[in-house]
Chains A and B, each alone.
Chain A
Amino acid sequence: MHKMPDAQPAFQFVDMRQQHDVARLGMWVFLATEVLFFGGLILSYSAYRTGYPTGFAEAARHTKIVIGTANTAILLTSSFLVAWAVTVARLRDSRFAALLLWTAALLGVVFLVLKGVEYSAEFNEHLLPGFGFAFSGPHIHAAHLFFSFYLVATGLHAVHVAVGIVVLVVIGLRAHQRAYSDLYHSPITVAGLYWHFVDLVWIFLFALIYLPGRGG
């Protein structure tokens, strides 16, 4: 059990407020880099969808919207719990914050399990490029590109979710050990920002992957 830290800022900072502010700013800069990172995929998707509008719609109909929607709801809920944990941390209720963070992490695990189920089904349907891809009909080029985007984007996103789960578990553990206080809780804030961002990316991926072509 760690004792309450002294709340002394690191030597390059004037006070704790500056340290917290700098930590938050740093995380936002990092998130901006993540936007551009996923952005390359968004460009690829947009370019090919411009070229193959019908094909993309046809391919998107083969995605599993039930799992996709459930996963979206799961991530939105986990984000809600993390946001709650951040407010709780400010009120010195460290242990409850830990509980919230761990629950959010658990939801993240459920997300990944469902994703695995989804990939497994798609693998059996030969929808994953590089893993025996086959698609009947004239839209094979478009379907191939669509599912390439799908695989890379959701795969990368899943990696980010996995990292986020580890971060939430570790931060939750430290919160449980009362390592944080109302004066010092920037790790929770910063971890929260990362997790919300992962949720944000999924919101957009969901719209681009699962919804096209449903109108028949």
Chain B
Amino acid sequence: MKNAPNYLTEDNSLRSWLFTTDHKRVAILYFVGITLFFFVGGAAATLIRLELIEPQGHLVTSDTYNRLFTMHGIIMVWFFLIPSIPSTLGNFVVPLMIGARDLAFPRLNLTSWYLFMVGGATTLYAIFRGGIDTGWTFYTPFSTMYSNSHVVLAITGVFIAGFSSILTGLNFIVTIHRLRAPGLTWYRLPLFLWSLYATSVILVLATPVLAMTLLLVGLDRVFGIGIFDPARGGDPLLFQHLFWFYSHPAVYIMILPGMGVVSELVACYSRKEVFGYKFVAWSAVAIAGIGFFVWGHHMFVSGQSPFAALVFSFMSFVVAVPSAIKVFNWTATMHKGRIRYDAPMLYALAFIGLFTIGGLTGLFLACLAYDVYVTDTYFVVAHFHYIMVGGMVTAYFGGLHYWWPKITGRLYPEYWARAAAILIFFGFNMTFFPQFILGVLGMPRRYHIYPPEFQIWHVMSSTGASILAVAYALPLFYLGWSLFFGQRASANPWHTTGLEWQTPSPPPKHNFETTPVVKRKPYDFTIKGKPRAQNA
């Protein structure tokens, strides 16, 4: 019924939006927030790439350059990547996928958004007041004793946003355990939920350590306590242990949701159930678990003991295995599938390829001897951008397009979407592949003045970045257009499985008229061309 009220039309006052506890509306609030921060972080990236076109660095001073890459890192990591899929797509889709009417704690959900925005505003204010020059990693004793920038303000912003993360993770864990529809056993859950569950475990267990770490840095700056100061008996490496204990699992917070999205996309657009469902499901859990044992690989040359370095190196090789299992299983899923190359599928394919490159270069870095050579060079920068941008951001766009009809009730324009996906892929590789070469040639990261023989690679990278910028702007236009002029979507425009497609697009306020009862496994395409819904 076209005119039945849905969660968007139910009540359109500003008050109803700002005080909403509806997970779908909170998801949209988050979407607005992270898009804003994506552009702020992107602006910093633009300035960085402009600066790096010339070897002598004429655009900005070294001090400003330090503040630019710090700002880029802080905003992108904590205010875009970490919340992106969980707080937007996750918030929207999780209750729908499990047949629930909302998350377990709707008011905590809204609180988490406010915390996110307050944290973001605080950080933006720190940037507005002149920024911070320590790098997003806040290494001591520079951050605690010598930096003259707005360290305390910036870490306060991140500290507040951390609580937002924790609340989201807490909500998802309890919801997935306790609010599943009747018949929805763990092995009938879509893989997106297994990934989000694993992500939530990391959110809940790792983020508090970041909170403590930042608190100690703040106390050190404000009261001069000095627990990381060597002259007072402290160990700067203790900061690094504490920081990376969170920040390494944090990268899995960032990538696991993307992997979950890719599982959904590959199944839908190959019209086949995911190969080795249980392996893919448990590999998410394995990544989350093993990911807590590898943080020292960020500290190979910092001065930790060789024994510890050895253990961390070994575990870093081990953690690659479950990721590889996923890549193999996605590929096997596509084999003999009936593949449709719609935009979400293009993003999924891009993810698989780019994540594999990023992941393999991670193995290079896990190797102690090789890491000594390329650590703190552009090799590392390229590695993590392949995973974060080539992987995570790509998956985010794929999921956004896939669930767009469900969220907005409109179809996006397919040809524009495919064009944007292809342009993104092209721009991305042109930006970041030269950076692997730069790294191996010896270009250090966080430097803006470099020998002239590196210029050709930097120019290539910056050219790619300008293409990428245009490519990322495109969805803003055609998705925005679709909100007003896009074709209206049916409940299940992709003819796929999953409970979220068994309710109208957009869904009514409480998601389902009656609680669905699940009878089938997920991704049941056994009858050719006819998906069988989980509750049919």
Contacts and interface: CB of A to CB of B under 8 A. Distances in A.
B227 interface: yes
B342 interface: no
Interface string A144-166: 11001101100010000000000
B376 interface: no
Contacts of A145: 227, 232-234
Nearest to A156: B215
Interface in B86-106: 95, 100-106
Contacts of A32: 204-205
Contacts of A8: none
Interface string A195-210: 0000000000000000
A140 B209 CA distance: 28
B224 A130 contact: yes
Contact of B208 (A11, A33, A52, A142): A33
A141 B241 CA distance: 20
Contacts of A38: 212
Interface in B234-269: 234-235, 238, 241-242
A40 B205 contact: no
Interface stretch (A20-28, A112-120, A176-184): A20-28
A141 B232 contact: yes
Interface residues of A, number: 39
Interface stretch (A41-49, A87-95, A103-111): A41-49
Contacts of B232: 141, 144-145
Interface in B200-215: 204-209, 211-213, 215
Nearest to A34: B208
A86 B208 CA distance: 28
Residue from A36, A41, A141, A149 having most chain B Cβ neighbours under 10 A: A36
Contact of B242 (A40, A129, A152): A40
Given A39-B209, A41-B212, A142 B233 contact: yes
A55 to B, nearest CB: 8
A25 B106 CA distance: 15
Contact of B178 (A11, A21, A33): A21
A37 B211 contact: yes
Task: Tell me the interface secondary structure of chain B in the complex.
Answer: helix
A37 B105 contact: no
A144 B235 CA distance: 13
Contact of A152 (B101, B170, B173, B225): B225
A33 B212 CA distance: 11
A156 B211 CA distance: 12
Interface string A4-32: 00000001110000100110011001101
B103 A43 contact: no
B225 A130 contact: yes
A165 B233 CA distance: 36
Nearest to A38: B212
A26 B170 contact: yes
Contacts of B234: 48, 145
Contacts of B205: 32-33, 36
Residue from B207, B208, B232, B233 having most chain A Cβ neighbours under 10 A: B233
Contacts of B173: 29
A48 B241 CA distance: 13
Interface in B150-185: 166, 170, 173-174, 177-179
Contact of B100 (A12, A30, A39, A141): A12
B216 A152 contact: yes
Contacts of A51: 235
Given A36-B206, A43-B241, A25 B174 contact: yes
Contacts of A35: 208
A202 to B, nearest CB: 17
Contacts of B102: 11-12
B502 to A, nearest CB: 18
A26 B209 contact: no
B199 to A, nearest CB: 14
A12 B179 contact: yes
Contacts of A52: 233
Nearest to A30: B170
B204 A18 contact: no
B219 interface: yes
Interface string B213-233: 101100100011111000011
Nearest to A33: B208
A44 B238 contact: yes
Contacts of B241: 43, 47
B520 interface: no
A36 B238 contact: no
Nearest to B169: A29
Contacts of A43: 238, 241-242
Contacts of A33: 166, 170, 204-205, 207-208
Contacts of B95: 12
B226 A129 contact: yes
Contact of A47 (B106, B219, B238): B238
A134 to B, nearest CB: 12
Contact of A11 (B101, B216, B223, B242): B101
Contacts of B226: 129-130, 144, 148
B510 interface: yes
Contacts of A12: 95, 100-104, 106, 179
A25 B200 CA distance: 14
A9 B508 CA distance: 21
Contacts of B178: 18, 21-22, 25
Contacts of A156: 215
B233 A22 contact: no
Residue from A25, A35, A156 having most chain B Cβ neighbours under 10 A: A25
A214 B235 CA distance: 27
Contact of B177 (A25, A36, A141, A152): A25
A36 B177 CA distance: 22
A36 B216 contact: no
Interface of A: 11-13, 18, 21-22, 25-26, 29-30, 32-41, 43-44, 47-48, 51-52, 129-131, 140-142, 144-145, 148-149, 151-152, 156
In the A-B complex, the 7 residue pairs with the smallest Cβ-Cβ separation, listed nearest first, are A141-B233, A40-B212, A130-B223, A37-B208, A36-B208, A12-B102, A33-B208
Given A11-B510, A13-B179, A152-B219, 4 more contacts: A21-B178, A30-B170, A44-B216, A145-B233
Interface of B: 95, 100-106, 166, 170, 173-174, 177-179, 204-209, 211-213, 215-216, 219, 223-227, 232-235, 238, 241-242, 510
8 contacts: A11-B101, A43-B242, A47-B241, A48-B235, A48-B238, A141-B232, A145-B227, A156-B215
